[in-house]
Structures are given as C-alpha cells and as structure tokens.
Structure 1
C-alpha cells in the first residue's frame, strides 16, 4: 500500500484535501485496466467506455498479470491502483479460452473491493460503425437518460445488481437540477433473458410536434453490445450498511426576529438600546484619548477650577476684612 506522508507543501495539502471525505461527493472516477491477455474486441470496448467517460476516467494501457478480481489476494494490485488514482469504479478486461471477451465491472468502498459483476461481450459495434448526423452527437459531460426494459431488472437479483452498477458507471455526478436542453443521450438496456442484456447508446433528437412538448427520436450512435452475465459478487450485509451510511446534513442556523411574508418578503425586527447621551463622545473631546485619561483630565480641570474659586473666595474675604478695619480706624479718629 502507499505510505502515508505528511504534506510538506501547500500543493500537496490541497491534493489531500481534495481526496478527503465530504458531505456531497463529486462524480465517481472510473479506472480502466487490461488483464494478462485482451482481444481486439475488449481493447475497443475499453476505449469506447473511456470516450464516454472521458471527463472522469483514467485508462491504463499496460498489461496486469497479477490482477484476479474474484480470487483472494488477486485484488491487492487493483486496490492499490484505486487508491493511487482516487477511483471508486473500475472496468477490467481479460480474454481466455474459458471466458472469452471477459469484462469485470466493480465498485470500491474506502478503496477496497465492494462488489463485482462479470460480463461477456458479444456482437460489439463501435461508434465508427454507425453513420449519423454529427450535429446530434452527444457532448462530453452531458447528463444521460436511462431506459431499462424488461421484467428481469425488477425480478432477477443478478440483473438488479447489474442495473445498479451500470447506473453508477455512466450517470456521472448526481445533481439536483437539470437543464433539459443539455439532455442529449440515452442508454437503453433491454433484458432479453435472465442472463443476457442488450446495451445500446443512442443520441436524442428533438423535433417539432405542434405543441410545447417536442417529439423525441432516438438515433443509435454506438457503442452497442450484448452483455452476458457470468459471475457476480454482492457485498456483505455489514459492509453494505456501512457504505450506505449518510452523514447528517448541516442544519441551517435559525435566524432570530426574522419572518417571511409572501408580499413584503423578508421582515426583520431590530431592537435598539436606549442611547446614553451623557457618555456619548462630543466633538471637542479628542477621539484618540482613552477613557481613563480623558476622565482624569476632566477631573484635573475641575480641581483647578475649584482651587481657583477657593483662592478667589479667600482673597475677597481678606479684602473685605481690610476694608472693615480701615472704616473702624477712621471712626476712632
């Protein structure tokens, strides 16, 4: 496994933060791998899947001799690549006499194998084999429609599992709102038997219908193939419960003294405390002086005023006494 190192730069720290768990995850990345031996059909299938998920996929072209998804110990390298590329989905192609044109689609939880579906590819047709107006070709990153036709997707456990895996593989990032003008593709899966599914990729063409709802027409653009279900491995019940846990959503903080009205909109109450006029700063008071220094200065001025008043009082008393004494002297003479 990869050694866990403490990030020494801001760039490394940002990369680790991108891979950290979050309440709303981004779209799942897909890892495409080749086995010990692959046929031309499988090489074309992996290339076509990579083109369909080009905005969110990683493709390795080297052969991998030590990957055996269904065998114990054979998934070690697969989990290593999943951790290295931060991919939670993988598509592994291999070819042998026992299982020709074999395709394994799997999901991981915490970069460990969660579940697996093994499929055989038959009657494959690539995108290049279809002729159509290139103006209606689906755009990279557009959201698709899914059409699962057949009772097997509701009754058969293997096809139910395949439906979940295909939805995870091709739906991209989950969003709350959709722009209908950007819906330009449809994945059609038809269950013809309990072990066989016809997979077709179609472009969506909108035509005038005389009313608001346009007429929709499907144009096959490829790839197209028959998928034969071979083996599958479901997750343990304990692992499934752990993987399906949902983090508690962040509750919105309650706004106090705020109400909403359909006519006036958002209404709020503001409580203003009584204004203390005596302690309000006046223009002649310096703003930069601290309160203690200002109060000390005012007290000093008041003290000087009192001292000057007391001094003036004493001088007036002395003057009056001198005047009285002078009058007495004049009277005696």
Structure 2
C-alpha cells in the first residue's frame, strides 16, 4: 500500500486546502507553454495571451520536447505541469512545416487532460501595431465583455467546442453584479466560415447618450488574429458526466420558533424571560436619585431650622 504523507507545516496545509475542491470554485488559472520549435509570431501570440490573462496565468519560457497533446503518452509532462502550478487550462504553442504557428488550447479535469482544440494563427497583429489614445488602454485584470458572432458557433461542432474553450480561457471569475463604469474592454469572436474565427480585442469608451445608460464605442487595441480550427478532441461521455457533477448545497439549518402560515406568512414566536424589575439595583449616578437626595437634604435642613426656632422661642 502507498503511504500517504500528511503535511506537517501550516503553510503546506493551507496550500493543500486552497487546491481542494470547493462548493463555489474560484477563477481558473492558465498555463502557457512552448514546444520544441516556435516562430516569432507564435512567441508574440503567447506573450499577448499572457498579458490578457495577467494575474491568473503562469508562463514557462523553456522549450518542452516531450509534450505532444494529441499523442498517447505525450500528455504526461503536461499533466505534471498542470498539477505543479494548479492550472486547469493550458495554451501550448508549437511550429512545424506541416502545422505552422500551431496553438493547442485545452482543459484538464483533476489534472488530467479533458479536451483539446488545435488552431492555426494567421494574420496576427500585436498590441503595439495599433495606434490609439493610451488613456483608453484596458486595465490589467479587468473583466471583459465576450461576444460570439455567427451561426457557426451554434451549428458547427468544431466551432461550438472552440467557443466553450475560449469562454473558459477568457471569462475570468464568475460574478453576480458588475459595475458598468468598470467595464473597459470587449473580446469579439466572429465566425467567418465553418473553420475560421476572427479574434479581436477592443477597448470600450463611454459616451453620453441622454439617458442613464451611456453609449459605448469600441476602439480596437489588439491583439487581432484569425484562428483556423485544425483538430479537436472531445472528452469521453463518462468523463464528461463525472466532470459535470455539482455538489449539493449545504442543507439549511432548522430555524427554531418560526413557522409558515398560508395567510399571515412567516410567523415567529418570541419568548421574553422574567425581567425581575423589583430586584434590579439602580445606579447611584442616575439623575432621579440625585434629585431625591437633594430634595431630602433640603427637607432635613428645613426641619433642623424649624426645631432650632422652636427651642429659641421656648427659652
């Protein structure tokens, strides 16, 4: 039997608790890796993706010759890096004559490869190639609008799969409320054909519209590229069912002395213990007690004067 080592230090225990499954999961981290050979275009693409995901991404710059995501046995190192960095999404770049400027985007479940999408990068434009007012530059870590335009994302299987992976890659943490003034960028994916998607990154400018809701203008700030779908691998049905399981909410604790009525609604009973007012000791500093003392002192002084007068009269 394998011996399970428990952490002895508090730091290791806290780190394991962070990686443990949670009822409400936090944002997913992204792992960015290089293959055996990469081009200048691909290096720039990986750098730009890291800039978009800054704060929730880990980027390795060394070349990895033993990572081959679509081949059996070529996922071992990838799963090791995923476990080491606690990343559930990865972006792997490689370049070859057969597949130039190749980008593999995938997800992991329990640090094992869940699904894969392979795309080719064409017509790439970096952030530095766009000219615009630098005051409009999106802030690092801000949550973007994500728009998917085109019927292909609903009809074509490859584009539907690519949409799911891109959403997980770009959406950051799930939030319930969002301040409109804090939204400063948008990512637009347009399905040009059955296997080609135009990826654009724009900054949002708020303009007066005469109403409460401002008018938004989009200014392209880069990066911009065409993603050509080459290969994709869906997860097994059994693995999908296991990954899609959701934990049941914590059972609500029974509230005492509260009942529901069809007419009055929620009814509560309040029990007030005996106050024992007669046994309560009033503090000497209260104004009422001071007033009583002053009145009693004056009464006593008046009685003393009256008794003295009576004695003088009798004498």
Q: Which residue of 1 aligns with 2:232?
A: 232
CA deviations over 1:98-145 (Å, ceiling 9, x no partner): 000000000000000000000000010011111111111111121111
Measured at CA, do residues 178 and 252 of structure 1 come closer, stay the same or move farther in structure 2, by a change above 3 Å? farther
Q: Which residue of 1 aligns with 2:302?
A: none
Q: Which residue of 1 aligns with 2:245?
A: 245
Task: Measure, in 1, the Cα distance between the counterparts of 2:202 and 2:280.
Answer: 78
**Aligned pairs for 1:161-180 within 5 A:** 161-180=161-180
Measured at CA, do residues 80 and 255 of structure 1 come closer, stay the same or move farther in structure 2, by a change above 3 Å? same
Residue 268 of structure 1: how far off its partner (Å) = 4.5
Q: Which residue of 1 aligns with 2:196?
A: 196
Give TM-score, length-normalised by structure 1: 0.78
Secondary structure at the counterpart of residue 192 of structure 2? strand
Give TM-score, length-normalised by structure 2: 0.82
Q: Which residue of 2 aligns with 1:269?
A: 269
Matched, 1:23 2:23: yes
Residue 16 of structure 1: how far off its partner (Å) = 0.7
Task: Measure, in 1, the Cα distance between the counterparts of 2:100 and 2:146.
Answer: 28
Q: Which of the two has higher C-alpha Rg? A: 1
For the aligned residue pairs, the C-alpha RMSD in angstroms reads 2.2
**Aligned pairs for 1:180-191 within 5 A:** 180-191=180-191
Secondary structure at the counterpart of residue 115 of structure 1? strand
Secondary structure at the counterpart of residue 198 of structure 2? strand
Residue 246 of structure 1: how far off its partner (Å) = 0.5
Residue 267 of structure 1: how far off its partner (Å) = 7.7
Structure 1 ranges of 4+ moved more than 4 A: 272-276
Task: Measure, in 2, the Cα distance between the counterparts of 1:211 and 1:221.
Answer: 27
Task: Measure, in 2, the Cα distance between the counterparts of 1:253 and 1:70.
Answer: 49
Task: Measure, in 1, the Cα distance between the counterparts of 2:59 and 2:257.
Answer: 56
Measured at CA, do residues 111 and 137 of structure 1 come closer, stay the same or move farther in structure 2, by a change above 3 Å? same
Q: Which residue of 1 aligns with 2:140?
A: 140
Q: Which residue of 2 aligns with 1:60?
A: 60
Task: Measure, in 1, the Cα distance between the counterparts of 2:188 and 2:274.
Answer: 71
Q: How many aligned residue pairs are there?
A: 272
Secondary structure at the counterpart of residue 165 of structure 1? helix
What 5-or-longer segments of structure 2 have no aligned partner? 261-265, 282-315
Task: Measure, in 2, the Cα distance between the counterparts of 1:259 and 1:46.
Answer: 59
Q: Which residue of 1 aligns with 2:80?
A: 80
Measured at CA, do residues 214 and 274 of structure 1 come closer, stay the same or move farther in structure 2, by a change above 3 Å? closer
Q: Which residue of 1 aligns with 2:294?
A: none
Q: Which residue of 1 aligns with 2:110?
A: 110
Q: Which residue of 2 aligns with 1:45?
A: 45
Measured at CA, do residues 152 and 282 of structure 1 come closer, stay the same or move farther in structure 2, by a change above 3 Å? closer
Residue 183 of structure 1: how far off its partner (Å) = 1.2
What 5-or-longer segments of structure 1 have no aligned partner? 261-265, 284-333
